[in-house]
Amino acid sequence: MTVYQRKLEEMVRRCSPRTAPEALIDTLFRLGVIDHTLMKVLVVREYVKDRVKNGSSRLGAMWQATEEFACSYEYVRKCVYYYKDVNFHPPVAENV
């Protein structure tokens, strides 16, 4: 499992704690439902957004992403600024 898939798993786990996210993600990949490139973009964008939310500067968060995902700063910059239509909107938790 790649670092991108692990990060996506964490995101899914937060939104749907009753479903095994690794099983869901694996099935979606096998079916070709998840676009690998857009998944990577989403995970990088969320990583940067979370770091900024926790007090890092955007530039610092983007450099941290290069280290976390072993990619270039240019790739992270494209993920953050170019792919504006790729966002993660977790569902609002219902009271059970």
Quick one: angle between helices 3-15 and 58-69, nearest 10? 120
Mean pLDDT of the chain: 83
Q: How deeply is 77 buried, as exposed, middle or buried, from its count of CB atoms within 10 A (0-12, 13-18, 19+)?
A: middle
30: left (phi > 0), else alpha (psi -120 to 50), else beta? Answer: alpha
pLDDT for the residue 93: 55
More confident residue, 63 or 36: 63
For 39-78, the pLDDT digits (tens) are 899 899 999 999 999 999 999 999 999 999 999 999 999 9
Q: How deeply is 65 buried, as exposed, middle or buried, from its count of CB atoms within 10 A (0-12, 13-18, 19+)?
A: buried
Chain centroid to CA 42 = 4
Does the pTM exceed 0.85?
no
